[in-house]
Amino acid sequence: MDRPAAAAAVAAAVAAAGCEGGGGPNPGPAGGRRPPRAAGGATAGSRQPSVETLDSPTGSHVEWCKQLIAATISSQISGSVTSENVSRDYKNIHKARQRLALRDGNKLAQMEEAPLFPGESIKAIVKDVMYICPFMGAVSGTLTVTDFKLYFKNVERDPHFILDVPLGVISRVEKIGAQSHGDNSCGIEIVCKDMRNLRLAYKQEEQSKLGIFENLNKHAFPLSNGQALFAFSYKEKFSINGWKVYDPVSEYKRQGLPNESWKISKINNNYEFCDTYPAVIVVPTSVKDDDLSKVAAFRAKGRVPVLSWIHPESQATITRCSQPLVGPNDKRCKEDEKYLQTIMDANAQSHKLIIFDARQNSVADTNKTKGGGYESESVYPNAELVFLEIHNIHVMRESLRKLKEIVYPSIDEARWLSNVDGTHWLEYIRMLLAGAVRIADKIESGKTSVVVHCSDGWDRTAQLTSLAMLMLDSYYRTIKGFEILIEKEWISFGHRFALRVGHGNDNHADADRSPIFLQFIDCVWQMTRQFPSAFEFNELFLITILDHLYSCLFGTFLCNCEQQRFKEDIYAKTVSLWSYINSQLDEFSNPFFVNYENHVLYPVASLSHLELWVNYYVRWNPRMRPQGSVLCIPVLGGSSRTPTQMLFAGSRTDEVHKVSCVPVLGPSSYKLFYLEVWGWGSPSPCFHIEVVERHVEIVSGLWCIDPDGPTVEAGAPLKKGEFAPPRHTFSL
C-alpha cells in the first residue's frame, strides 16, 4: 500500500480519537488544538480532556495509542482501511492483550514471595496491610520486609501494584495513628531520602504491627543495630569488575603526569600523613616531605594542596586543599607560602595564582576566630583571593527539605514557581555552576593555576573541582571518564558519604547530613540540558547513580574515605556500582553523543537557563511523570522510508529515559530531531513517525533547511567552526 493511503488510515484513526492531524493527546508546539469530535463521538461542543487534566497519567492517551496502532497495522496488511477493519483489528489486539495479562497474572499469583537478590533473605511477611497512596488511595496487599528492601504487592490482580523500596533510602520510621475503632487504626510513616514518604496501615493485631516496625528499624538502620550493610551480603556476579575502573596512577598518566614540575608522592601510602586523603597524591617535584609535613600542620585536617587536574597545553593546574589554620592572630607558615609559590611557578605562562574560597566571606571570618581562616593577599603576594559565597551544608539540607515539601505528595500549581523559588534550590545550583565556570575560565582562558578550598576541602571543594574538570576535559564526559571523576574527586579524596547520606544510621536529625553529592549530579544534569550531545551518558545514568547512593546495594559510596574502605575491605567484600552499569552500557548511553574533544563547555549559570529536575525530584508523582514514547509499528517493506520516518522504529513503551534507536540524519535534521522529540526532557509521549515528519518539515520550512538532506551518522563530529553550545541551536 502506498504512503498516502497509509497516512489516510492513520488520519482516520486519529480523527476517531479526537486528535487533529495525528498530533495525539499532546502534539507539542507544532500541533494545534483538537477540533470537536465528529458524528458518533461526543457532542460538537465537547472536547476530550488533555493529558494534563486527566486524573490518570494514561487515560485517553492510551486509548488513542491503541486505535493508532490498530490503524497502522490494518493499513499495512489489509491494503484497504475501513472502520470495521480498524475495529476488528483493535478487538483482536485487545483480546491478545487480555490473554497475555491473564497468563502473566497467573504467574504473579504463583509468586508468594518477593523476588530476591543473591544474598537477600526475607525477614517478615505480613498480610492485610494497607498502603495509603496519596495518588490512588488505599491499596490492600501483602508486605514483605527483607534485609534489603520493603516489598508491597496488592491483593487485586488488576490493576497490578508493586511497591519496591530499598531500605537504604529510608531516613526515619515512625508509628502513626492510635484510634480505638476501625480495622486500620494504627500504622507507620516511612520518611525516605529520595523525595517521598510512605504510609502503611494495619489491622489491630499488635504482633503484626510490632513485627513490621521492629524489622524495618532493624534492617533499615543496620549500623545502628550492630549489623553490616546489605552490600556485604549482596552476591551478584557481573562480567565486568567495576573496582578496576579507576587506577590513580593511570589517570595521572593520562594527564601527562608525573612531569618535571609534578611528582606522584608516596608520603601517604599508609594514610599516616593525611587519613582522609588517598594513598596516591601529586605534589610539586621540588617539595621535600619534611616541608610537606609542615604545610599539613598548617592546613585543616592535614589536607595540603594537591593536584587534581593539569591543562595539557598551558600546564595551568587545579589544586585542592582545606583552609589554612590562620586563627585570630593571623598565624603564618613560611612553608605553606613557599608551597603555593611553587604551584604558581610550575605554570610558566602565568605569574599569578588564584585562590578560590568556596565559602561566604563572613563565614570565613567566623572560622578565623575559631582557628581557621583564609590566605591573606599581603602574605601571599602573588595570589588573588576570591570568595564564591556558597552556603554551607546546613543551608543546603534545609533547602532540600523545603523542596521536598513542595513536590510531594501534592503540588500547588498556582504557586509552583514561587514555591520553587522559595526553596532557593536552583539558586544554589546556579552558584555552584557559576563558581565552576569561573575556575574553568581562569584555567582555559587565563592560563592561570588555581587553588580551591572550603573549610575542610571535602564538600564544596569536591563540587567545584569536579564540575570545572567536567567543563575542561571531554574525557570526563564519557561514561568511564565520569565514573573516574567520581572515584577520584569524591570517593578517593574523602567526601564523607557515610555521614552526608547517613548510610544505615537511624539518626535522622544528624547535622552532618547534607545533599552535597546530589547537588553535584543536579549540576551535571543541568549541563546535559544545555549541551545534550556533549555527554556519553543519559539521564537514566545519573538517576541510577543517585538511587544507589542511598540503596546500600553496592559498596561504591560506602564509608567516608579511602582508608576506611580498605579497613572495611570494601573492594573485596562488596560489588561496585560500575560493575552493574558497565555490564549494560546500552541502557545508560546517550544515542546523540558527539565526542567534542578539546572543547571546553561553559554552561550559562543563570536562573533563566536552569530548571528543576522534574524527572528526579517529582518522579513519584504520576501526574508529573513523563509518559514513555509510544510503540509505533514500523512501515512494512520500508526501504523507501525517509530518515524522519525511521526515527521511532523500535522505540519501547517502558522507558522514558531513552529511545532504543539511533536516527540516521543529516546535521540539520539531527538538530531538528532534538527540537521535536527531546525538547521536553524525554521522548515526546505521542509522536508517531508521520507526526514527527510533519513537524520537522514545518520547522524545516521556517528555517529554510532540507530535512532529508545528505544522511550521515548522528554521532559524526561537525566540521571545524560548526560547534556551538546547544542553547544557541535549540529552543528548549
Q: H helices of 289-329, where?
A: 289-298
Task: Indicate if the pLDDT at residue 649 is higher than 70.
Answer: no
Whether the per-residue pLDDT at 55 is higher than 90: the answer is no
Neighbours of 397 (CB within 10 A): 17
| CA atoms of 186 and 201, how far apart (whole Å) | 6
More confident: 412 or 62: 412
Does the pLDDT value for residue 433 go beyond 60?
yes
641 and 569 in a common domain: no
pLDDT mean over 347-354: 96
pLDDT of residue 177: 72
Share of the chain above pLDDT 70, in %: 68
Supply the pLDDT for residue 699.
55
Whether residue 598 is annotated as binding a ligand: the answer is no
Asked whether residue 493 falls in the same domain as residue 634, the answer is: no
Q: How many domains does the chain have?
A: 4
367 marked as binding residue: yes
Give the pLDDT band of residue 211 (cuts 50, 70, 90): confident
560 and 429, same structural domain?
Answer: yes
Same-domain pairing of 578 and 545: yes
Is 532 part of any domain?
A: yes
Please indicate, yes or no, if residue 616 is contained in any of the structural domains: no
Residue 95 marked as a ligand binder = no
How far CA 557 is from CA of 500, 563, 584, in Å, comes to 11, 13, 20
For residue 492, which of 639, 274, 655 has the smallest C-alpha distance? Answer: 274
With b for 16 or more beta-carbon neighbours within 10 A and e for fewer, the 615-627 pattern comes to bbbbbbbeeeebb
One domain for residues 641 and 716 = yes
Question: Are 104 and 116 part of one and the same domain?
Answer: no
Q: In the predicted model, is pLDDT for residue 383 greater than 60? A: yes
Is 455 labelled as part of a ligand binding site? yes
Residue 20 maps to a domain: yes
Q: Are the beta carbons of 169 and 551 closer than 8 angstroms? A: yes
The winner for highest mean pLDDT among 142-156, 330-344, 696-710 is 330-344
Confidence bin at 77 (pLDDT 50/70/90) = very low
273 with 368, same domain: the answer is yes
Domain end position, chosen among 608, 642, 657: 608
Question: Do the domain assignments include residue 296?
Answer: yes
Work out the mean pLDDT of the chain and round it to a whole number.
79
Distances, alpha carbon 550 to alpha carbons 194, 346, 495, 553, 566, in Å: 8, 41, 15, 8, 21
Whether pLDDT at 99 is above 70: no
DSSP 589: B
Q: Is 582 annotated as a binding residue?
A: no
Q: Is 456 annotated as a binding residue?
A: yes
633 shares a domain with 593: no
Does position 101 have pLDDT exceeding 70, yes or no?
no
454 assigned to active site: yes
What pLDDT does 457 receive? 98
Domain boundary among 108, 129, 150: 108
> Is the pLDDT at 31 greater than 60, yes or no?
no
- The x, y and z cell numbers of residue 203, run together, are 489491622
With respect to residue 557, please indicate whether it lies within any of the assigned structural domains. Answer: yes
Verify that 85 and 118 share a domain, yes or no.
no
Range of the domain at 168: 111-220
Does residue 156 lie within any of the structural domains?
yes
Which whole number is the average pLDDT over 182-187?
64
Of 509-513, 557-561, 653-657, which gets the smallest average pLDDT? Answer: 653-657
Q: Indicate if 279 and 361 belong to the same structural domain.
A: yes
Last residue of a domain, one of 220, 249, 277: 220
Q: Cα–chain-centroid distance for residue 152?
A: 25
- Give a yes or no: residue 615 inside a domain: no
269, with CB counted inside 10 A (0-12, 13-18, 19+), is: exposed
Q: Do 80 and 125 share a domain, yes or no? A: no
Please tell me whether residues 499 and 355 are part of one structural domain: yes
507 is in an annotated binding site: no
Is residue 251, in this structure, part of any structural domain at all? no
User: Out of 19, 454, 523, 632, which one is annotated catalytic?
Assistant: 454
